[in-house]
Each structure stands twice: as C-alpha cells, then as structure tokens.
Amino acid sequence: MTRRDGWLSRLGYGAAGLGGLLLLIEAVPRLGLVDGRFLPPASEILATLATQLGTPELWVALGETLRGWAIGLALAFGAAVVLGVVIGIVPGLRALTNSTVEFLRPIPSVALVPLATLLFGPSLGSTLMLVVYAAFWQVLIQVLYGVAAVDPVAFDTARSYGLSAWSRVRHLVWPSALPYVMTGLRLAAAVAFILAVTAELVIGSPGLGAEIQVAQSSGAVSSVYALIVVAGLVGIAVNAAVRLLERRVLAWHPAVRSEVAA
Amino acid sequence: MLEISELHKVYVSPGRRVEAIGSVTLSVGAGELVCVVGPSGCGKTTLLRCVAGLLPASGGEVRVNGVPVTGPPPRMAVVFQEYGRSLFPWMTVRQNVELPLKEKRVPAARRRELVAGSLESVGLSDAAGAHPWQLSGGMQQRVAIARAVAYEPEVLLMDEPFAAVDAQTRADLEDLILRLWRDSRITTLFVTHDIDEAVYLGQRVVVLSSSPTTVMEDLKIDLPAGRDQLTTRSLPRFGELRGHVYRQIQRARGHGADR
Amino acid sequence: MTASGPLKVLRALAMPALLVLAWWAVSGSTFYLPSPAAVARAFAETWLSERLVDDVLPSAGRLLAGYALAGLLGVGLGVPIGLSRRLRATLEPVLEFFRAVPPPVLVPLIMLLAGIDTPMKVLVIVSGCVWPVLLNTVEGVRALDGVLADTCRMYGVRGVARLRRFVLPGAAPQIMAGLRQALSIGIILMVISEMFASSSGLGFTIVLFQRQFQIAEMWSGILLLGLLGLVLSLLFRRVERWVLAWYYGSGAARA
C-alpha cells in the first residue's frame, strides 16, 4: 500500500466517523430519545459555536485559559528540570529525596483547591497553583529517569577528561536526558490544560472553565456544549503543538528518527 | 500427502504489483522430509505462508491429503523462525505446549501424556514450569518444536527454524529434528537458506530461483539414512551434493541480478 | 543503592522529618498554616469519626464503582476497535477528540443530564476514566505480535480462547498503562463532582471547611486526599506487578 493512498482512505473513514457522530447527536434529540433541553441537536450546537466564535468574550476567555496554562507549565517545567538535574547528579540526593517524591507525587492536585481559594480567590493565582503542582511532578519524574539513564561509561569518560560539573551537565547529562524531558513536557502539557480548566470551573478563575460554569448555571445548554467543543479542540491543538516541538527538538535522536520513518 | 501445483502469488496494492512467486509445483509424499532452499529474498517465507493457509494464493492450489487449502488446515503445525515471538510469554512452557491440544478438545489425561512425552523428546522435561523468556534461544525453539509434535500433525512446516541460533545449538537442533522425524515419520517441509542444512536433513532438496520464484531443481539426496554430523558431513558425496546445490543457487542469484 | 536496612530507613525518614520541622518553624507566622500538631489533632477528630462512614467511604465507593465501570467499558470497546482496521480508522478522530476534552468540563454537562446524586458522580468518573483505558486498549490490541497471531491461527486458537489467551494478555501492558492514567483522573473527578453540587462526600466536606475558615480541618482534608491518592497508587502498583509478572520478568518493560 502506498503511503498516500492509505492516508487518503483513512481520512475518508475518519470523516465518516465524525459525520456519524454529528448525525447521531442530530438524530437523538430530534427523535425524542433524549430531551432536547439536555442535549440539543448537533446543528444547534454548531450554530451556537459559530455565534460564540464571533464574540470577543470567547476569545478573551480562551486567552485567559491559555495564559494560565502557559505560565504554569513554564514555571513547573523550569523548576522540575533544575531540581531534577540537581537531585539526579548530586550523589546520595536521589536516595534521600525518594520517599518524599513518592509521597507527594500521587497527591491529587485538586486537593489544593480549597487552599488556592483561600490564598488567591478566583484569579490567575489559583489557576497557577493547581497547574504548577500537577505539571511539576510529571516533568520531575521524567527528568530523574533521564538523568539515571545517562551512560555511566560516558560519565566516567567525561570525568577522566576533566570536564567541569557544568559542562558535564551541558554536554552529557542534558542531551542524554532530553528525550525523557520532552516526554515529561508532553505529559505535563496535557495535565496542565486539564488543571487550568478545572481551576476556572471550580474556583471561578477567569477562562473557558468559568464560561462553562456560567453557561450551565444560566441554563444556556447549547452554549455549554459549544464551549466543551472549544475545550476539546484546544486540547487537540495543545497535544499537537507539543508533539511538533518534541519532534523538532529531538530530530537528531534515534528513537524519533525511527518513529518518523515508520 | 502435500501437493503444491502451479502456486502463484502476487502482492497487489494501489499503484504497485509485486510478483513474489511465479509458479511453484512440488509434492511431498507421506512420511517424507523435503528441504526447500533458495537465495535470500526468494519468497521462501511467502511460499510457506501460502502452504500453511496463512496467506491466500493468487493462483494455483495447495492440497493436503487431496483437500484444497483455504485456511490453516486442521492437522498441520508450523515452527516459525522467530522463536522468541511464537511462544506466549505469559504462559509457562507446559501451557504453551498444551494450549493447541485444549483447543482440539483432547481429553485431559491424553493431553498430559502428549505434553509430557513431547517435552521429554526435546529434552525439556525439567523446564515445563518455566516461562519461555527464562530459557535460551535454542531451548525456546525446542519448546516450539515440542508444541508442534504434541499436536500430532500430519504435515509439519518449518520456516528457517534455526536461522537465529548459534552454530553449536543449530547442529544439536538439526539432529533433534532428524531423530523426531525418524521416530514419528511426520511429513515435513523444511524451509532454509542454509545449503549444508538442507543437504544434511533432506531426503530431497528443492532449489528455488530468486523472485518471482520457480522450482529450479528437485534433487534426490542419496546419502545413507543414518545421518550423523561428523561422518555424513565428511562423506565425499555430501560435498558433491553441496557443491551442486551451491552452483544452482549462484545461478539463481545471477538471474535475479540481471533481471 | 545497596544500603543496609537501618540506613535505608534513616534515608527514607530524614527528608520528611526535615520538612515537618520546617513546617513547624513557619506555621506560627500565618493564619493559613496551622502547626503540624493542630492539623494532626484536627485529622483525628474530623476523620476518625462518623465522617469516615458518612463521607469518606461513600466517596471511595463511587470512585471504585466508576473506575471499574470505565475499565470494563474501555476494554470492552477497545478490543473490537483495536482488532478492526476499518473501525479504528473510522473512530480515531472521534476518540482523539474525546480524549482531548479536559474531563472536568463534563461535570456541569452530566449534572444537566443526570442530576446531582450518586449516579451523576459515578457517571462523571466513568466519562473521564474511560478514554485513557479505551485508547490504550486500542493501541495495545493493534500492536499485538503478528507471529503469535499466526501461531493462534495455525493451532486453531480462536473465539473466546483467542481473546483470553492471546488478545487480552498481549494487550495487558498497555491496558494497565491506561488504567494507571485513569486512576489519577478518577480521583480528580471524584473530588470535583463533590465540590460542585453535593451535601456529602470528601470534596464537599473539604470545601465546607474552607468556607467556614476551619483551617486546620481543611488541611487535614488535604492530607486525607493525599493519603487516599498514595494508598490507591500503591495498591495499583501491587496489582500491576501481579498481573504483569511475566512482562517485568521478561525484561520487556523499560524503566
């Protein structure tokens, strides 16, 4: 099978699948299987979506969400990379911090909702607190894996040639750990988006989540659906962007090269 | 017993057409051990998959006991080249050998007997409770052979079964196959790229051309039946047969190159 | 790495002890951070009482019910989708979309459809947990080994036996990875669904403490959620090691 034909027919099937879903959502309320007050027909949802896309409110909300996501992700990423590398290369530090990491990591970040509400109220600060906590562990764990995976022979070689600690990190640890770091970033980006929306939804920080909450409590059902579609599309865009970045950064790396070739 | 007549296989995909097998006709009599050799990439595996009913042929026919093959025939067993991937890693050696018998609804008592007997015959009675990944490559291939033997097939197909093991293990496994075949007389089609192996094991050696594959020669191996790694391989006749097959394969390769 | 017993214990406890000390030192300075002793007292008084039966156990029960349902649904749908190339191509964009929707936004939606009682909360958990399980199952089934599939065909292993002996165990590493992701999403959704509209449950109670400025009690709730997360992840690791014993043994798993 040539690649383009396979790709084309897959596109056809995929379009059929999406079309089928839209038809289903159109038919179910029209046939009265589910009350139209709770599930409006697809055409109505799409019409609402189109109207919403024309209003500045949606774009402002989207901007707020993405701002919280990006700032939180950047803070978590920076902190986790620095801490991860330090813990990974300073002898004994890994063993010393292990139990603490294993205890703190599974704590669900939504447990911090009340604390964030108290400290920051419905504002960007709350979003950042949840996003940073959730994203931090994803990156940290991967960085620790990555540093542990550095070839010990290469490490000894570098030491025997008298490379300084800083150049060892720069030329040896960082490049070997990079694939793990990028995996961590990819996982963290998805989690950060979930938590950004959650903070807005539950605490009321401005953004997409807050819009959904408002639409729901005011009974604007098709708006709720339209906003969920927006959230899904943004989620897809976030995943795609991070994957693209991962490929760019790791273009030299064998794991990615074979993935691209396959 | 096993008849392959004018078998033809073309891989078709949009915009591409690859003729893998031109036309292959050969037959294996009941209780015979026939080896198939050919230059690398000559469609040996395609041929075997067609015979096993794993791949539909584009033309021609395969018959087992006169019955045309349309899917995997009920009384046929295959030993694949990739021993590491043909055993279920989540099952023990015993469970691996027993699974096909359970599916054949063999009664439990008989099943135990068959499993114990076949593991004994490949020298793995002690490893019955181990998982495949705890064994060496050669031992894993022995498990696959035991599974095939316990299944009590009419026809046994082997697809380069020893291509991925070291030379020493390979010689042991070749003798194991000869011994099992002598004891059971299962009709066996053995595909290999190794000329020595083909001449050493086979009663007949079928030489294939390069792709699109045809049969270049069907050679009777007139070596004494009681074969032995040392004496058989040092017979002058062994050398002659080996040289003959080697020249044929060189010719086949030449064909492939100036095609 | 090969430290002896006592040294290991010391290493494991040194850092947490230091952190608690640091907590103690700063706790007096702010209203928002009571001392460890106060939180410990609040923990004992709050959670080792009828609240355990009234709030904590129902929450945990809903979580487990929703999680189990999502697991069954995800594997049940994922296997046929993974086995059929056409079905996969048809549903891929739809599934990718549902995976990308942040699960918490489904809470207000499902409240519309299913009210605010237990069914809603369970449904919320199912709706969030099912996607990682489903997508990982599809991926695991799609990547089943071709030689093993041929082996099954040759030896007449089909139908239920093929599913039980080949498809499910073969996809198990991926399925477990999906279940692991689903577990953390499940905890998040359990808490959120109770924070939203509820009169009982762990999430509700913690938010109540926060609104009434019962700071030590609120912290004890955060601590309890942390412990719940920790216990569930340890349990999951146990189960995973047991289910995938062959997988870790064969060295197929990487760190």
Asked if A5 is an interface residue toward chain B (Cβ–Cβ < 8 A), one would say: yes
pLDDT tens-place string over residues B71-85: 899 889 999 988 878
Question: Rounded to whole angstroms, how far apart are CA atoms A249 and A182?
Answer: 8
The predicted pLDDT at position C176 comes to: 94
Segment B140-159 shows an average pLDDT of 93
Q: Which of C147, C246, C247 sits opposite B86 (nearest CB)?
A: C147
Distance between B57 CA and the closest CA of chain A, angstroms: 18
**Cβ–Cβ pairs < 8 A, chains A and C:** 169
Which residues of A are less than 8 Å from C255 in CB distance? 145, 148-149
Domains and CATH numbers, chain B: 2-75+154-257 (3.40.50.300), 87-152 (no CATH)
Interface residue of B13, B17, B18 to substitute, partner A, most A CBs within 10 Å: B13
Which residues of A are less than 8 Å from C187 in CB distance? 108, 110
Percent of chain B with pLDDT over 70: 98
Which chains contact C through at least 3 pairs of Cβ atoms less than 8 Å apart?
Answer: A, B
C165 with B88: Cβ contact below 8 A: yes
Distance between B82 CA and the closest CA of chain A, angstroms: 21
Is it the case that residue A82 has pLDDT exceeding 50? yes
As given in the structure block, the two tokens for residue C205 are 């109670």
Asked if B13 is an interface residue toward chain A (Cβ–Cβ < 8 A), one would say: yes
Any bridge partners for residue B215, and if so which?
B208
Distance between A42 CA and the closest CA of chain C, angstroms: 14
Segment A205-232 shows an average pLDDT of 90
Segment B225-242 shows an average pLDDT of 87
- Assign residue A49 a region (left: φ > 0; alpha: ψ between -120 and 50; beta: otherwise): alpha
Interface residue of C10, C101, C205, C238 to substitute, partner A, most A CBs within 10 Å: C101
The predicted pLDDT at position C130 comes to: 94
The predicted pLDDT at position B212 comes to: 86
Is it the case that residue A255 has pLDDT exceeding 80? no
Asked if A228 is an interface residue toward chain C (Cβ–Cβ < 8 A), one would say: yes
Task: Classify domain C39-241 at the CATH topology level.
Answer: MetI-like fold (1.10.3720)
Any bridge partners for residue B59, and if so which?
B8
pLDDT tens-place string over residues B97-106: 999 999 889 9
Is it the case that residue B186 has pLDDT exceeding 60? yes
Segment A110-118 shows an average pLDDT of 89
Distance between C157 CA and the closest CA of chain A, angstroms: 29
Is it the case that residue A86 has pLDDT exceeding 80? yes
Q: Which of C15, C106, C232 sits opposite A100 (nearest CB)?
A: C15
Confidence band for A260, pLDDT divided at 50, 70 and 90: very low
Which residues of C are less than 8 Å from B133 in CB distance? 246, 249-251
More confident: A201 or B42: A201
Compare all CA atoms of chain C with the CA of A111 and give the residue at the minimum distance.
C222
Compare all CA atoms of chain B with the CA of A5 and give the residue at the minimum distance.
B14
Q: What number of other Cβ atoms are within 10 A of residue A154's Cβ? A: 14
Distance between B85 CA and the closest CA of chain C, angstroms: 6
More confident: B170 or A256: B170
Overall CATH class of domain A39-261? mainly alpha
Is it the case that residue A161 has pLDDT exceeding 90? no
Question: Rounded to whole angstroms, how far apart are CA atoms C166 and A159?
Answer: 49
Which residues of A are less than 8 Å from B14 in CB distance? 1-2, 5
The predicted pLDDT at position A127 comes to: 93
The predicted pLDDT at position A101 comes to: 87
Provide the CA C117 distance to its chain's centre, in angstroms: 21
Which residues of B are less than 8 Å from A1 in CB distance? 13-14
Sequence spans of domains, chain C: 39-241
The DSSP-derived string for C49-105 is: SHHIIIIIHHHHHHHHHHHHHHHHHHHHHHHHHHH-HHHHHHHHHHHHHHHHS-GGG
Confidence band for A3, pLDDT divided at 50, 70 and 90: very low
Which residues of B are less than 8 Å from A2 in CB distance? 13-16
C156 with B90: Cβ contact below 8 A: no
Which residues of A are less than 8 Å from C1 in CB distance? 95
Confidence band for B34, pLDDT divided at 50, 70 and 90: very high
Cβ pair B79, B144 in contact under 8 A = yes
Segment A61-75 shows an average pLDDT of 94
The predicted pLDDT at position C253 comes to: 53
A106 with C191: Cβ contact below 8 A: no
Distance between C250 CA and the closest CA of chain B, angstroms: 5
Is it the case that residue A4 has pLDDT exceeding 60? no
Tens of pLDDT, residue by residue, chain C (255 residues)? 455 678 778 877 888 888 888 888 888 777 888 888 888 998 888 888 887 888 888 889 999 999 999 999 999 999 999 998 889 989 988 998 998 899 998 888 888 777 777 888 899 999 999 999 999 999 999 989 989 999 999 998 988 999 999 999 999 999 999 999 899 899 989 988 888 767 778 888 888 888 888 888 898 998 898 888 889 989 999 999 998 988 887 766 543
Is it the case that residue A172 has pLDDT exceeding 80? yes
Sequence spans of domains, chain A: 1-31, 39-261
Q: Is the ipTM of this complex over 0.90?
A: no
Segment B64-70 shows an average pLDDT of 90
B72 with C249: Cβ contact below 8 A: no
